[in-house]
Structure 1
Amino acid sequence: MAYKDEKLHEEKVFKDPVHRYVHVRDRVIWDLIGTKEFQRLRRIKQLGTSNLTFHGAEHSRFNHSLGVYEIVRRILINFADRPNWNKEERLLCLCAALLHDLGHGPFSHSFEKVFKLDHEDFTKAIILGDTEVNEVLLRVGKDFPQKVADVINKTYKDKLVVSLISSQIDADRMDYLQRDAYFTGVSYGHFDMERILRVMRPYEDQVVVKESGMHAVEDYIMSRYQMYWQVYFHPVTRSAEVILTKILHRVKALYDEGYTFKMEPAHFISFFEEDVSLSDYIRLDEAVVYYYFQMWAEEDDSVLRDLAYRFINRKLFKYVEFNPNLQMKEWMELYRLFQQVGLDPDYYLVVDSSSDLPYDFYRPGEEEERLPIHLLMPNRELRELSRQSEIVEAISGKKRTDHKLYYPRDTILQLSDDRLEKKRIFELLYQSE
C-alpha cells in the first residue's frame, strides 16, 4: 500500500474541549503530528499576551492546528460524494490544515513586527526545508511538500482547496473563534458551526453556503466582529504587547550599541543581525523568551530592567483614548515633559492602533483582495452574502480603527508632587480621557 493511503491500525483521538474529539486515521497525519517542528507549537501560545488579560488563554498553536485539521476533516466527509469535489485532494487539504500555522514564532505578530519577519515565510521554509515535516511529506510524493506550501501560500491551482484553509469563512477562523472564546471565557465567539458545516458546498473554485444557512453565517460574522474588539484588541492585552515590543526594541538597540549583557542573548543574535537561519527560528519558542525576560529583569540597563520586570509581573501601562489627527500637539508636549522627568518617551509614551474589517465584498485590484462569501440560491445561482443579508450589509467594507496612548502611570505618580511637569502630564492625559 502506498504511504499516502496508509491507515493506522486503529483510529487515534485527541480529547478536545471545542470539538470533543480530533480523529486521526491517516498515517501521514499521525507522523506529521509527531515531528519536532509540529510539537514546537505546544510552546507557542495561540493568543500571545492575552493570558495577561484573560487568565485562561493559555492554549497553544498546537491546539488550534489540530482543531483546524478536524474541521477540514469533517468538511471533506460532507464533500465526499458531491460534484465539483476532487477526492484526490483530500490528503493535501488535511496536511495544509494541520500545518498552516507551523511558522509562527513566540508571541507571533508582535515578534514579527520588531524583527521584520513573516511567519508565512517560515511556514513555507519548514515545509520545504531540511526538516522532519519535509521528510514526512516527501514520502507522499516528490512534489507533495510544494503542493502543501502552495495551498497555505494561497497559490495552489485549485482555489477550492485554498478556500477551505483561507477565506472569509474557512476552517482556520471557525476554529480560532470558538477556541479563543472557550479559553478566554467570553460568550462572543460562539456560533452554530454544525449548521454551517452542513450547508457548505464545493462550487467550482470556492466553498459556498446554501441560502438556507445564511443566518448561521450572519451569526459567525458578528461573532468574529465581537471577538476582535472584546478579546483580540482588548486594551490591556495591547498594553502587554506594547511592553513586549519595547523590550525587544530595547534589547536590539543595546546590542547594536555594543552593550555588555550579563548573559549573552545567544538565541537572539541572528535576529538582531537580520540573518536568521531556519534552525535559529525553530529553536526560539516562548519558554526560551520568558527565560531571557527573567534575566533581563536583572540587567544594569534601567529601561530594559524595568520593562522586563513589568512584563513578567504584569505591571502594565495605563492608557487613555487618543486621536492622532486632533491631539498631536498634546502628544508632542507630553513627549517633551517625559524627557524632562527622565522617562524615555520612545519606550514609555506609546501610541498603539488597532483596526479590523469584519467582512468585505470583492474589490478587484485592491491590496489583500477578499473573496466574498457566496450563497447558493435555490435556483443554483450564486448571490454575494451582503446582497442578501441586511445585517452583513450594514458592516460590509467598514473598517473600524481605535487608537490608545499608553504610559506608566505608576512611575509618574512616584514623581515628587511639587514637580510642575507631573501636574501638566496628568492634565494632558486627563484631557485625553
Structure 2
Amino acid sequence: MAYKDEKLVEEKVFKDPVHRYIHVHDKVIWDVIGTREFQRLRRIKQLGTTYLVFHGAEHSRFQHSLGVYEIVRRIIDDGFSGRPEWNDDERLVTLCAALLHDLGHGPFSHAFEKVFNLDHEHFTQRILLGDTEVNAVLRRVGSDFPQKVADVIGKTYPDKLVVSLISSQIDADRMDYLQRDAYYTGVSYGHFDMERILRVMRPTEEQAVIKYSGMHAVEDYIMSRYQMYWQVYFHPVSRSAEVILIKILHRAKYLHENGYVFSHEPVHFRSFFDRTFELEDYIALDESILLTYFQVWMKEEDTIVADLCYRFINRKLFQCAEFDPATEYRKIGELEQLFREAGLDPEYYLLADSSSDLPYDFYRPGEENERIPIYLQMPTGELSELSRSSDIVDAISGKRRTDHKIYFPEDVLLEGKEQNPLYERILHMLKN
C-alpha cells in the first residue's frame, strides 16, 4: 500500500475541550504530528500576551492546529466525500495544509514578526520545503507533495476549493480559533453554531458555499468574530503587554548594535539582530526562551531594558489613553518633547498603537486585497453573495473599525508628579 493511503492499525484520538475528540486515521497525519517542528507549536501560545488579561488563555498553536485539522477532516469526510464537486484526491493535501497552516509562527507571533519584519506564512512554507522532519514526512507521499501543501497555505494552489477551506471569510481556521479562544478566555462572544454550518456547507468548483437555510448560523458566526476582536483580541491591556514586549526586543537590538555588553548575552537573538539567521535559528526559538531572557535581563545595567522586562514579567503594564490621529496629530510631538524634558525616553515610554478590523467584506472591482465573499446557495441552485440576503451582514459589510491608543507609564508619572511638575503637565495632556 502506498504511504499516502496507509491507515493506522488503530485510530488515534486526542481529547479536545472544543471538539470533544480529534480523530487521526492517516499514517501521514500521525507522522507529521510527531515531528519536532510541529511539536514546537506546543511552546507557542495561540493568543500571545492575552494570558496577562484572561488568565485561562494559556492554550497553544499546537491545540489550534489540531482543531483546524479536525474541522477540515469533518468537512471532507462527513460532508464533501462522494459529491461530484469534490475531488477525493485532494483530501490528504487539504488535511496536511489544515494541520500545518500555522507551523511558521514565532514566539509571541505577531509581536515578534513586527520587530524583525518577518512573515509567519513565509516561514511556514520554508519549514515545509526545507531540510526538516516535516519535509521528510511529506516527501514520502511524493517529491512534489511538500510544494503542494506550501501552495495551499500560500493561496496559490490551483484548486481554489481546497484553499477556501483553509483561508477564506468562513474557513476552518477562523471556526476553530473563535471557539477555542472563547473557551480558554472564558467569554461568551465567540460561540456560534458550527455544527449547523458544517451541515449546510457545500462544495463548488471555486469555494465552499452555504445553503440558504444556514444563513442565520453564518450571521451568528460573523457577529461572534466581530465581538471577539473587540472584546478579546484588541483588549487594551493585552496590547499594552505587546507594545512593551516589542520595545524590549527593540531595546535589546539597539544595545547589541551599539556594542553594549550584556550580563546575559542574547545568543539566541544575535543572528536576528544581524539579519543572518538561518531556518534552524528560527525553529529553535520559542516563548520559553524569550521569557528566560526577559527574566535575567531584569538585572541588566541598562535601566530601560531592565525596567521593561520587569514590567512584562511582573505585569506592571502601561496605562492607555484614547487618541485620534486625525485631530490630535500635534499632541504626540508635544508629548514626546515633554517626555524628553522630564527625563523619560519617548521611544520606549510613549507608544502609539492602532488596532483595526474589517468584520466582513466582498470583492469590489478596482480595489486592492480582493476578499472572496461568502456565498449562499439559493433554493434555485444559484449563488448569492451573503450581504444581499442578510440585512445584518449588509449593515457591517466593508465597514472597518479602528481604535487608536497611547500607552505610557502612569505609575511613574503619578509617583513623581510632586517632585517634577512636568509629570503633572504630561498627565493632564494624556487624560484630556
State the TM-score bracket (shorter-chain normalisation). over 0.9
Q: What is the CA–CA distance in structure 1 between the aligned matches of 2:424 and 2:143, rounded to whole Å?
A: 68
Is 1:30 the counterpart of 2:38? The answer is: no
Deviations 1:22-81 (A, max 9, x none): 000100000000000000000000000000000000000000000000000000021012
How much has 1:365 moved relative to structure 2? 4.5
Identity, % of aligned pairs? 72
The corresponding residue for 2:232 is 231
The corresponding residue for 1:312 is 313
The corresponding residue for 2:124 is 123
Q: How does 1:146-165 map to 2 (within 5 A)?
A: 146-165=147-166
How much has 1:326 moved relative to structure 2? 1.4
Q: What is the CA–CA distance in structure 2 between the aligned matches of 1:21 and 1:113, rounded to whole Å?
A: 35
Question: Residue 267 of structure 1 aligns to a residue in which SS?
Answer: coil
Structure 1 letter corresponding to 2:35: T
Q: Which moved more, 1:33-42 or 1:317-326?
A: 317-326
How much has 1:275 moved relative to structure 2? 1.8
The corresponding residue for 1:9 is 9
Structure 1 letter corresponding to 2:4: K
Deviations 1:171-197 (A, max 9, x none): 000000000000000000000000000
The corresponding residue for 1:330 is 331
Q: 2:358, 2:399 within 8 Å by CA — same for their partners in 1?
A: yes
The corresponding residue for 1:132 is 133
Q: What is the CA–CA distance in structure 1 between the aligned matches of 2:341 and 2:319, rounded to whole Å?
A: 20
Q: How does 1:15-414 map to 2 (within 5 A)?
A: 15-77=15-77, 78-414=79-415
Residues 91 and 365 (structure 1 numbering): CA distance in 2 closer, same or farther, change over 3 Å?
farther
Question: Residue 258 of structure 1 aligns to a residue in which SS?
Answer: coil
Q: What is the CA–CA distance in structure 2 between the aligned matches of 1:368 and 1:293, rounded to whole Å?
A: 38
Q: Which moved more, 1:220-229 or 1:330-339?
A: 330-339
How much has 1:414 moved relative to structure 2? 2.0
Q: What is the CA–CA distance in structure 1 between the aligned matches of 2:93 and 2:356, rounded to whole Å?
A: 33
Structure 1 letter corresponding to 2:28: V
Q: What is the CA–CA distance in structure 2 between the aligned matches of 1:102 and 1:419, rounded to whole Å?
A: 50
Q: What is the CA–CA distance in structure 1 between the aligned matches of 2:398 and 2:315, rounded to whole Å?
A: 36
Structure 1 letter corresponding to 2:58: E
Q: What is the CA–CA distance in structure 2 between the aligned matches of 1:343 and 1:327, rounded to whole Å?
A: 21
Q: Which moved more, 1:421-430 or 1:385-394?
A: 421-430
Q: Which moved more, 1:243-252 or 1:362-371?
A: 362-371
TM-align CA RMSD: 0.8
Structure 2 residue runs of 5 or longer lacking an equivalent are none
Q: What is the CA–CA distance in structure 2 between the aligned matches of 1:204 and 1:413, rounded to whole Å?
A: 62
Question: Residue 246 of structure 2 aligns to a residue in which SS?
Answer: helix
Q: 2:417, 2:424 within 8 Å by CA — same for their partners in 1?
A: no
When normalised by structure 1's length, the TM-score is 0.98
Q: What is the CA–CA distance in structure 2 between the aligned matches of 1:148 and 1:106, rounded to whole Å?
A: 23
Q: What is the CA–CA distance in structure 2 between the aligned matches of 1:166 and 1:331, rounded to whole Å?
A: 38
Q: 2:3, 2:140 within 8 Å by CA — same for their partners in 1?
A: yes
Q: Which moved more, 1:151-160 or 1:360-369?
A: 360-369
Deviations 1:151-183 (A, max 9, x none): 010000000000000000000000000000000
Q: What is the CA–CA distance in structure 2 between the aligned matches of 1:343 and 1:276, rounded to whole Å?
A: 33
Q: 2:413, 2:424 within 8 Å by CA — same for their partners in 1?
A: no
Structure 2 letter corresponding to 1:50: T
Question: Residue 10 of structure 1 aligns to a residue in which SS?
Answer: strand
Question: Number of matched residues?
Answer: 431
Q: What is the CA–CA distance in structure 2 between the aligned matches of 1:310 and 1:61, rounded to whole Å?
A: 25
Question: Residue 102 of structure 1 aligns to a residue in which SS?
Answer: coil
Structure 1 letter corresponding to 2:351: V
How much has 1:418 moved relative to structure 2? 4.5
Question: Residue 268 of structure 2 aligns to a residue in which SS?
Answer: helix
Question: Residue 49 of structure 1 aligns to a residue in which SS?
Answer: helix
Q: 2:105, 2:124 within 8 Å by CA — same for their partners in 1?
A: yes
How much has 1:330 moved relative to structure 2? 2.5
Residues 280 and 377 (structure 1 numbering): CA distance in 2 closer, same or farther, change over 3 Å?
same
Q: What is the CA–CA distance in structure 1 between the aligned matches of 2:411 and 2:188, rounded to whole Å?
A: 33
How much has 1:416 moved relative to structure 2? 4.7
Structure 1 letter corresponding to 2:303: S
How much has 1:368 moved relative to structure 2? 2.2
Q: What is the CA–CA distance in structure 2 between the aligned matches of 1:172 and 1:395, rounded to whole Å?
A: 22
Residues 286 and 341 (structure 1 numbering): CA distance in 2 closer, same or farther, change over 3 Å?
same
